Amino acid sequence: MKVAIIGYGKMGREIERILVARGHEVALVIDVDNAGDLNASKMSGMDVAIEFTTPDTALGNIRCCLELGVPVVCGTTAWTAHLPEVEELCRQRAGAFFYASNYSIGVNVAFELNRRLAAMMNRFPEYDATVEEVHHVQKKDAPSGTATVLADDIVAVLDRKKSWVLGCTATGEFDPSELEIVSVRRSVAPGTHTVTYESSVDTITLTHNIKSRVGLAAGAVSAAEFLVAEVAAGRKGIFSMNNLLKL
């Protein structure tokens, strides 16, 4: 497949390496210095675009791809307040859009386990739930997109939690109906997400620890391959890792 990479940071470079290793053509790389190349002329003939940029630029990049008729896989986080807008544009343009907050197969299995665990723990109000995420200091958003998915899924199922909040107050006080997300930034930390249920007698934890970006990049490439195959079969619309992994 013929691919445009939008965003050429560490993830973009790893995605390029995997695409080439799988025999795909990286026909265009767009970054800050050549952002203007995201146009009809340069994007002509592209089978798919893979977008990993920043929260401030993701929406515009995705809109442009959909308006140009190019299927797009997006891995940028912290912009999803605009997700309904993108989904509506995708429908209007009869486009193809794949979004995941995390492209790791392991993380998406953890999402499924998290939903099942929350359903089980709903019966036991003596357990309080929290979510913690640990990332490198270069990560711009907090909480991570993965942490918000975990938290949203818990809030949707756990009757005693009505919303989530990033951290508690300076005095350590917080509303027990709020699910606390703790965000930690360290100099070297590829990414760890932990869901904890704690009572006075024991603790239950669900943890996913990513060892490198390779799993994320490979998942994004798999998503692009999946999306191109869906479009070739005449299926367009909005897709996620649940579709890819059949969860």
Q: Catalytic pick from 24, 135, 161, 208?
A: 135
Q: Catalytic pick from 42, 82, 139, 236?
A: 139
pTM, entire model = 0.84
Cite the DSSP H helix spans in the chain. 10-21, 40-43, 58-67, 83-92, 105-121, 145-157, 214-232, 241-245
| Residues 104/215, Cβ–Cβ less than 8 Å | yes
Each residue of 46-98: pLDDT tens digit? 999 999 999 999 999 999 999 999 999 999 988 999 999 999 999 999 999 99
Which residue bears the tokens 């013929």?
A: 2
Structural domains of the chain sorted by starting position, each given as residue range(s) with its CATH number in brackets: 2-103+213-245 (3.40.50.720), 105-209 (3.30.360.10)
Q: Write the CA distances from 126 to 116, 123, 158, 167, 197, integer angstroms.
A: 18, 9, 12, 21, 9
Comparing CA positions, the residue from 197, 206, 89 lying closest to residue 146 is 206
Q: Write the CA distances from 132 to 39, 119, 122, 128, 236, integer angstroms.
A: 40, 19, 20, 13, 35
Q: Is 10 a catalytic residue?
A: no
What 3-state class would DSSP assign to 94? coil
Per-residue pLDDT of the chain (247 residues; tens, 9 = 90+): 999 999 999 999 999 999 999 999 999 999 999 999 999 999 999 999 999 999 999 999 999 999 999 999 999 988 999 999 999 999 999 999 999 989 999 999 999 999 999 999 999 999 999 999 999 887 878 898 899 999 999 999 999 999 999 986 555 667 899 999 999 998 887 789 999 999 999 999 999 999 888 999 999 999 999 999 999 999 999 999 999 998 7
pLDDT computed for residue 139 by the predictor: 80
Q: Is 208 a catalytic residue?
A: no
